[in-house]
Structure 1
Amino acid sequence: MASPNDVVSAVLQHPAYKELLQRRTRLSFIFFFITLVIYAGFILTLAFDPTLFGSPVGSLTISIGIMTAIFVAISAVVLIAIYVYISNKIFDPLLAKIVRDVT
């Protein structure tokens, strides 16, 4: 049986592991910037134009601020769902390949 250090070294040298790191890092940055734009846009709008958030949406009694907050919450759930889907379809098989090759 291989020692834990040998397994770690083998994983770190595996080309699929390097691919996994690159793809996961790239995807993480994309999701980070999408989230940053959504949340920063929400907070900056609230900070610099708070009256906008108090305005009603058309003839409805709900305000733009409530609708925007709902959008922010739903966008977080959607982004999480997309990440989990991508992780299950791309990252997990890649990780399973690495484990098969190393052990």
Structure 2
Amino acid sequence: MLANPAFQSLVRARRRFAWALTAIMLAVYFGYILTLAFRPALLGRQLTLGQPMSVGIPVGFGMFAVTFLLVAVYVHRTNTVYDQRISDLKQGAEK
């Protein structure tokens, strides 16, 4: 199975996809942390004058939304693309 070109292609595709999502997630989180470190006034600015909420709060919730979105994208792709390819590989190996 390990020498099967279709299996190797599947492994490469899954790894590439996982690393792409990881890079996006790291960019989001490090962007937030670096903004807090070097431009804290940007996230500390009031969202609406006279209200206590700062810009950083919706940005933080946005980070959670991005996290959930990336998880949903990964699960959808796994269930629709990779699971089908795995099933095809298993059926081919059984023959």
Question: What is the TM-score when the length of structure 2 is the normalising length?
Answer: 0.89
2:15 — aligned with what?
A: 25
Q: Distance between the aligned counterparts of 1:81 and 1:59, measured in 2? A: 36
| Counterpart among 74, 77, 83 of residue 86 in structure 1 | 77
Q: Distance between the aligned counterparts of 1:34 and 1:59, measured in 2? A: 33
Instruction: Please report how far the alpha carbon of residue 26 of structure 1 lies from its aligned counterpart in structure 2 after TM superposition.
Output: 1.0
| Counterpart among 39, 58, 61 of residue 67 in structure 1 | 58
The one-letter amino acid of 1:83's match is Y
**1:56-81 Cα shifts (integer Å, max 9, x gaps):** 12447321110110010000000000
Q: State the structure with more CA Rg.
A: 1
Unpaired stretches in structure 2, ≥5 consecutive residues: none
2:5 — aligned with what?
A: 15
Cα-Cα RMSD:
1.4
Higher normalized contact order (CA 8 Å, seq sep 6+, divided by chain length): 1
Q: How many matched pairs?
A: 93
The one-letter amino acid of 1:92's match is D
Question: What is the TM-score when the length of structure 1 is the normalising length?
Answer: 0.83
**1:3-49 Cα shifts (integer Å, max 9, x gaps):** xxxxxxxx212222111111101101111111111001000001111
Q: Distance between the aligned counterparts of 2:7 and 2:73, measured in 1? A: 22
| Paired residues for 1:51-66 under 5 Å | 51-59=41-49, 61=51, 62-66=53-57
Using the aligned pairs only, state the percent identity: 30
